[in-house]
Amino acid sequence: MYCTLKGPYRKIWAKQGGTTKQIALVLDEFIKDVFFAQERRTNMSKSPIIQIQNLNKTFKSGENTVMALDNINISIERGEIFGIIGLSGAGKSTLVRCINLLEKPTSGRIIVDEQDMTKLSERELRKARQSMGMIFQGFNLLMQRTALENVCFPLELAGVPKSKAKIRAKELLEVVGLTDKENAYPVQLSGGQKQRVAIARALATNPKVLLCDEATSALDPTTTQSILALLKELNQKLGVTIVIITHEMKVIEQICHRVAIIAESRLVELGTIDEVFRNPKTTAAKKLLYPQGEHVEKFTGKGKFLRLVFDGSSTDRPIIANMVLKCGAPVNIAFADTKNIDDKIFGHMIIQLPDNPATVQRMLNYLDEEQITYGEEE
Amino acid sequence: MLSSDMIQLMWIGLLETLYMTVVSTFVAYIIGLPVGLLLYVTDKDGIKPHTAINQIVGGIVNILRSVPFIILLVAVIPITRAIVGTSIGSTATIVPLVIASAPFVARVVESSIKEVDRGVIEASLSMGASTLQVVYKVLVPEALPSLIFGAAIATTTILGYSAMSGFVGGGGLGTIAINYGYYRSQSDVMLVMVALLVLIVQIFQEIGTWISKKCDKRIK
């Protein structure tokens, strides 16, 4: 042997006396070691960064208790942008506050980066919170501090020396594009600029997780776009896991990888954006996807009503127009609600077919050929 | 017209009044500021709710606040004697002034701190701030303009109290107003005293308002 054997290998070598068979045994052990080390490493990086297990939260209001969260189970992977959507009052804000224990769960476990948050002492909890950033709907900047001093704030809390904190804060303001505003007070900044300062502040301590509580709900559409773009960029550049709470479908569509739908304190759906949008299973999900209602009115008139479902696979062809041309009869579009996500179209449309059984049959055949999902409407 | 002796007396009275007011306000804040913060922090909606502490401290504050100053002034004479050695003169008056105004200051401070946005406190907690850090890095600096405005109100209130102490030989402008203006019916002295007191209140209030505005970064 040209190398010295260590620990278990040396033992096996010594025990067996050193024949070819033993060389094979040692090699075997060695390979196992390397393999398991590799597996451990990949497991480590693959373990979810946030695990919410059997989370319950109740509030006492006078005599009665109100259930805010009912047995929530969610795993959020490292580096993903995870959306949590629900109507107001669904419990999503309570849920995000349970992650950093601003709200104490009534029961259940919150595991962040392999640490059970519910079991930490106060001091440990404060330490753990420093590795999680949070931004809010109302920005929550310190009004008596400049932008730069606001970004320095979490560093001061963590005990970073002032001069170092200042350098880091300047870097962060550059990242969010506010270098020229470092000496401005929050009152002198626009909503979007305030949220940028808040993002810089949340990232100051190099957190692994960024929690966003309705972070764009107070902003106009254009500013919302720019903040979402910034979050996406930070996610890609820094690898920070982002959890987004919102009631706006647009926000989820635009940047989230996966989404959870919370309705009436329960987790009703969870999946990739495609899965959930293509095939919303619950009424809660449908309500969020089609806020105007699934169909606006009762349809009356002669002829069948047909609901066509677009699931993102059949959009680059003009289906309706082709059908009309091919079958030689017009249809009436009674209702349509579709949205463009990642250049695929999701949604549904209700059309009124002509009052002629033969044409209807031809049209249904055409839709079958094109593999469009449809169903008859009452 | 007023004799030069009278003017001399008024000058001393003015200095005594300023001395009592400033020292009493200062000591009242040394006690009242932490008590006010404690009341806020231990409140059931505070950052570290503690019902027992909150109710006991709140109870003491309310009891002291409900005793009219003129009665408290006489009632605490034994305490004043024990601390200062006498119950007469401006230094002795500082004792009842502090006892009466510290609870008032505590409530003024508490109400200023309550103006701090809950969201900002929540944000600091989310960044891992301890209770103490929230108090001295968030609550006090964020409420500073309001605290200064409150201090101006407290100072003028204490000034009013100090004049009342003239009835029991407290010294200052109040004593002159009562001894000459009231007992000897010298209405010219009374008039000057009232004018001086009004002027001092105006000055304190204006200075307080000005500093409060000056340090408030919420004003563009």
B145, part of any domain: yes
CATH number at residue B104: 1.10.3720.10
B35, part of any domain: yes
Residue A373: predicted pLDDT: 77
B220, part of any domain: no
Query: Which tens digits make up the pLDDT trace of B77-108?
Result: 999 999 999 988 999 999 999 999 999 999 99
Q: For residue B140, what is the nearest residue in chain A, using CA coordinates? A: A144
**Phi, psi values for residue A43, rounded to 5°:** -60, -40
| A332-341 β-sheet, strand order | A332-341, A344-352, A305-311, A373-377
Query: Which tens digits make up the pLDDT trace of A175-212?
Result: 999 999 999 999 999 999 999 999 999 999 999 999 99
ipTM value for the complex: 0.89
Residue A175: predicted pLDDT: 93
B185, part of any domain: yes
Residue A12: predicted pLDDT: 60
> Helix A20-46 and helix A7-16: axis angle, to 10°?
160
Residue A2: predicted pLDDT: 46
Residues of A in contact with B216 (CB under 8 A): 144
Residue B9 lies in domain? 4-215
Nearest to A188 among B127, B129, B220 (CB): B220
Beta bridge partners of A335: A350
As a whole number, mean pLDDT of residues B142-160 equals: 96
Distance from the B190 Cα atom to the nearest Cα atom in chain A, whole angstroms? 45
Is A187–B130 a contact, with Cβ atoms under 8 angstroms apart?
A: no
Residues of B in contact with A140 (CB under 8 A): 117, 119-120, 122-123
Compute the distance between CA of residue A110 and CA of residue A55 in angstroms, rounded to an integer.
8
Nearest to A144 among B125, B141, B220 (CB): B141
B9, part of any domain: yes
B79 contacts B86 by C-beta, under 8 angstroms: no
> Could you tell me which residues come within 8 angstroms of residue A189 by beta carbon, excluding any fewer than 6 positions away?
A147, A181, A197
Mean pLDDT, all residues of chain A: 84
As a whole number, mean pLDDT of residues A274-291 equals: 78
Residue A19: predicted pLDDT: 64
Query: Which tens digits make up the pLDDT trace of A95-122?
Result: 999 999 999 999 999 999 999 999 999 9
Residue A360: predicted pLDDT: 87
**pLDDT greater than 60 at residue B207:** yes
Distance from the A102 Cα atom to the nearest Cα atom in chain B, whole angstroms? 7
Enclosing H/E stretch for A171: helix A162-175
Q: For residue A100, what is the nearest residue in chain B, using CA coordinates? A: B126
Is B127–A138 a contact, with Cβ atoms under 8 angstroms apart?
A: no
Residue A40: predicted pLDDT: 47
Alpha helices per DSSP H over A4-121: 7-16, 20-46, 92-99
Q: How many independent structural domains does chain B possess?
A: 1
**Phi, psi values for residue A350, rounded to 5°:** -115, 125
B81, part of any domain: yes
Residue A277: predicted pLDDT: 77
Query: Which tens digits make up the pLDDT trace of A44-73?
Result: 556 899 999 999 999 988 888 888 999 999
B34, part of any domain: yes
Higher pLDDT, residue A68 or A12: A68
B71, part of any domain: yes
Beta bridge partners of A352: A305, A332
Candidates A102, A143, A203: best to mutate against B (most CBs of B within 10 A) is A143
Partner A contacted by B124 (CB < 8 A): yes
Is A185–B138 a contact, with Cβ atoms under 8 angstroms apart?
A: no
